[in-house]
DNA sequence: CTATGTGAACACTTTCACAGCA
DNA sequence: TGCTGTGAAAGTGTTCACATAG
């Protein structure tokens, strides 16, 4: 049974590839902005800091997206990556904590594209509650429970001080969030069915300092992807 | 020639381990805060979302840090991880862009520990230049060139809008920065000797949405570390 | 008897090299 | 002819299982 370009039925996408897809995507958007009608595995690799063979393997796991002898069409690639990552769905995102970090997140491009949209924001500071941030009225965090997230799978983002993190996580889970992205520097726990990831803004800095010490040479000539998060389905404290 | 506990001469630390060390460290600090005098590979693994054998392998690459039958001393572990990551040195960090993100970074714990300290901050907005942020007077970005970073290896952090990123990077490199951490959503280029890493706050969100779609089961029972950055020694545009 | 440290088996990723199609 | 797509080889990383030290 023949299929149109870009189709591929449920071949598993390797974990390492999933982690690189968002990076290719950013580059593709960039290339498109610069007016490129075509690109190649070599160009993408150069810009992403990975080698061309890896780019081809990664992209081929999504389907047959290129044209031999010619290259790839950025527009098609972007669409296929979006689809693979689930960006063709609609993901409500709830952000708790409207300090500098929370505001930065809510206003960032990444939080209002790829299928995400910020649907509610919370804080506890009376000076902030009631104010408007990115077009949304900030509600008091005590009212997280009033959210009805149970319908669509929703993501809760924690951008509070460390001391408030666990309480906020509990409230978000109680309201039906099925994934938590924790920016607060504190280990938290969730029930087993909730997806949990941490982001630590200084981890990249620490990894950098390791390679700057010269204790090890920076990995390979063109180097790999690195980490800032841990995922733990059902972590314990 | 016998050595004291925790010593190990220059055995190469695997890349994957380097990426996990900052996570163990955060957990260890947490355990210490809670008053733990001892911990185990199992406890650390549970909290980090990785399995116990991996924790032991990771830690043993730093030396013989544990006590058989007993476990690990958090304090010793923290010190050894710090040393391995180069946190026993002093790393000046320069942050450009005092919007919400820049302020969040400058005020974050991670940017003033582990050997890092923010030594200067810049912006272009006349309303911000001259003001004080985290104890530092914000200088105009035109004056980045006046920095003399050439002495100590310094890290430049870019937290500007995308359109300003490349110019800021050039200025930082010109001033002698030997590493760039780019939070702006734009691909930039640096000379070959400069270490470059990207951080994209929404990449974790995108990876999460992949696993939420149910197109693939979340990796393993206890799951691995993930990415937000790309490093590219001497990238081209 | 407990929990580390580690060889050895296994699994996953990356890279190579080239066949195959435009 | 040029660049993708992909088996097969090489290289890393993870997990197992147990000897070993406290």
Rounded CA-CA distance A114/A90 in Å is 9
| Amino acid A184 CA to nucleotide D6 C1' distance, rounded Å | 43
Q: What is the largest CA-CA distance in chain A?
A: 62
Cβ count within 10 A of residue B112: 16
User: Is B164 a residue whose pLDDT tops 90?
Assistant: yes
Task: Supply φ then ψ for residue B87, to 5 degrees.
Answer: -80, 0
pLDDT of residue A232 exceeding 70: no
pLDDT score recorded for residue A2 = 41
- Quick check: A230 and B225 CB within 8 A? yes
Q: Which nucleotides of C are covered by protein (CB under 7 A)?
A: 1-7, 12-17, 20-22
Residue B126 CB in 7 A reach of strand D = no
Cβ neighbours around B76 below 10 Å, total: 16
Give the pLDDT band (50/70/90) at residue A6.
Answer: low
What pLDDT band is residue B1 in, cutting at 50, 70 and 90? Answer: very low
Main-chain phi, psi angles of A216, to 5 degrees:
-140, 145
- Over residues B9-59, the pLDDT tens digits come to 457 899 999 999 999 999 999 999 999 999 999 999 999 889 999 999 999
Instruction: Tell me whether A181 touches chain B (CB under 8 Å).
Output: yes
Closest CA to A157 of A176, A181, A138: A181
> Is the C-beta of residue B220 closer than 7 Å to nucleic acid chain D?
yes
The verdict on B47 touching A (C-beta cutoff 8 Å) is: yes
Which range among A103-107, A187-191, A193-197 has the greatest average pLDDT? Answer: A103-107
- Shortest Cα distance, chain B CAs vs residue A143, angstroms: 24
Q: Which nucleotide is nearest to A224 (CA to C1')?
A: C14
pLDDT averaged over every residue in chain B? 85
Say what the pLDDT of residue B52 is. 97
CA pair distance B48, B26, nearest whole angstrom: 9
Asked whether the beta carbons of residue B215 and residue A84 sit closer than 8 angstroms, the reply is yes
Q: Is B140 on the interface with A (CB under 8 A)?
A: no
Strands (E), A16-108: 66-67, 71-72, 91-96
Angstroms from A72 CA to nearest CA on chain B: 18
User: Inter-axis angle of helices A41-48 and A52-60, to 10 degrees?
Assistant: 110
Q: Give the minimum alpha-carbon distance from A2 to chain B in angstroms, rounded to a whole number.
A: 22
Residue B173 has pLDDT above 70, yes or no: yes
Rounded to whole angstroms, the Cα distance separating B180 from B200 reads: 14
Distance CA A155, CA A195 (A): 9
> A78 φ, ψ to 5°?
-55, -45
What CA–CA distances, in Å, run from A198 to A43, A149, A218?
32, 21, 25
CA A158 to CA A105: how far, in whole Å?
10
The residues facing A95 across adjacent strands are A121, A157
The beta strand positions in chain A, using DSSP E, are 66-67, 71-72, 91-96, 116-123, 132-133, 136-137, 139-140, 155-158, 179-182, 195-198, 225-230
Q: How confident is the model over A9-33, as a mean pLDDT?
A: 89
Is B13 in Cβ contact with A208 (below 8 Å)?
A: no
pLDDT tens for A57-109 read: 999 999 999 999 999 999 999 999 999 999 988 889 999 999 999 999 999 98
């Amino acid at each position: 049974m023949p299929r149109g370009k870009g189709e591929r039925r449920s071949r598993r996408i390797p974990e390492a590839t999933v982690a690189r897809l968002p990076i290719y995507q950013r580059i593709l958007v960039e290339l498109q902005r610069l007016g490129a009608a075509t690109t190649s595995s070599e160009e993408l690799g150069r810009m992403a800091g990975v080698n061309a063979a890896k780019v081809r393997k990664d992209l081929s796991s999504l389907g047959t997206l290129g044209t031999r002898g010619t290259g790839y069409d950025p527009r098609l690639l972007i669409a296929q990556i979006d689809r693979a990552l689930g960006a063709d769905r609609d993901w409500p995102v709830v952000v708790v904590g409207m300090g500098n970090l929370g505001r930065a997140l809510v206003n960032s491009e990444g939080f209002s594209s790829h299928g995400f949209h910020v649907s509610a924001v919370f804080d506890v500071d009376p000076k902030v509650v009631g104010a408007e941030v990115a077009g949304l009225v900030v509600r008091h965090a005590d009212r997280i429970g009033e959210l009805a997230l149970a319908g669509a799978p929703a993501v809760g983002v924690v951008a509070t001080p460390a001391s408030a993190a666990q309480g906020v996580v509990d409230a978000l889970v109680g309201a039906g969030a099925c994934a938590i992205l924790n920016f607060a520097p504190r280990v938290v726990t969730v029930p087993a069915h909730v997806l949990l990831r941490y982001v630590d803004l200084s981890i990249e800095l620490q990894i950098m300092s390791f390679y700057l010490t010269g204790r090890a040479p920076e990995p390979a000539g063109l180097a790999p992807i690195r980490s800032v998060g841990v995922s733990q389905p059902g972590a314990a404290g």
